[in-house]
Amino acid sequence: MKALALTHDSRINASNFLLEVTIEEYLGLAGKALERNEYQRRRVKSASSVYALLKEDLLKGCIMPPIVLGLPLVKKASAITLKNICEVIQKTADNLLILDGLQRTYTLIDLRNELVSTKDENALKRLHSLPLRIEVYAGINRIGILYRMLTLNTGQTPMSLRQQIEMLYIDFAKIPIDGVKVIKEADDDAPQKLGEYTFRSVIEGFNAYLERNELPLDRFDILENIKSLEKLSTENQDATLFEDFVKTYDKFVKHFAMLTGEQAFDSDDLEISGQVFGKDARRVFTKSQAITGFGSAVGKLRDRKVISHFDDIVKGISKLKPNKDAKGALKNLLKTMEQIRLSSKKIGNSQRLYFHFFFRELFNPDGDSYLDLNEAVSNAYQKYLVQMS
């Protein structure tokens, strides 16, 4: 291991060390790092990816681009120099995080294991001796880790927008909410029952509430929002607000599902040609379009002072009583979603706008559709058409 250069990254206030190591040395450092980074995405399946080709290239002696590691804050980080960085890394290797190069690291491990299993000692020796350059950000804090992982995301396998959103708001995933399970991309799962939501959809809904805008987060928003991440993640009131938002929405979904029972609809039931937006209440209201519509609608209602808190919404939900019209309201809503699909150029955004009007109609005590599901479905569509005209 050789230290080659030191540069200070003023954007994240961390020292960047360039080192040259052998692949054998790197694999010795990388093992535990694969299991440690809570922000890290899952492994990409590589059966048909460029990483299969990379294995062949490595056996021919190719040099990979530098892998970027992070060494979180340690005591007297300012005392780490070009002379002692190698020693520091050896002593604190358990703290290393992979900021960029996860898939390449897995490729190296796979190739090493294949050579071990085939007992090709000469090829293994050549692989282990290949030089590899690594960058190490020493003294990097949590915000720096997130920022660098996002800005370094330019490789052959770009990080999904969902993963970026999850990284940015990871603190909210740690808030326990009774009866609710949020599913991250790394979980490799999807909502299967009441009370389960994708973490991205919940975050987009919460952001829609904060911004009073039903449109989803995009990549530009991610880099902009990181500027306020430190404040957002440390203020307890934001955590409480997030919990109130999720609890309220979950209460609505479960209540609506109770009203409609296990009623499910398919395309034939609705007499439509396209795929149904959601077969039942749970599937409809766990979608991002519905959650963002709810968030922006409640935000607007609060701005107009027709409600003062999420408690007002909760009280309204409890007054949505079982009746024979609930199933009809769901059916009409699904037929409306098909009309929007057929007439809209930006279907997802149009669906979000519709749900925004639906929830505003349903929970506005001064409106004609207050707590009336069928009226809310119908009147929301009229408001949507006016907005789109």
Name the band, by pLDDT with cuts 50, 70 and 90, for residue 370.
Answer: very high
Q: Is the pLDDT of residue 237 over 50?
A: no
237 or 263, which is more confident: 263
Residues 318-356: tens digit of each pLDDT = 998 656 689 999 999 999 999 999 999 999 999 999 999
Confidence tier at 221 by pLDDT (50, 70, 90): low
By C-alpha distance, which of 357, 281, 266 is closest to 320?
281
Query: Comparing 367 with 31, which gets the higher pLDDT?
Result: 367
The answer, yes or no, to whether residue 277 has pLDDT greater than 80, is yes
Mean pLDDT for the stretch of residues 237-266: 88
* pLDDT the model gives residue 166: 58
pLDDT beyond 60 at 220: no
Q: What is the pLDDT of residue 150?
A: 66
Q: What is the pLDDT of residue 55?
A: 87
List all residues 6 or more positions away from 87 whose beta carbon is below 8 Å from its beta carbon.
none
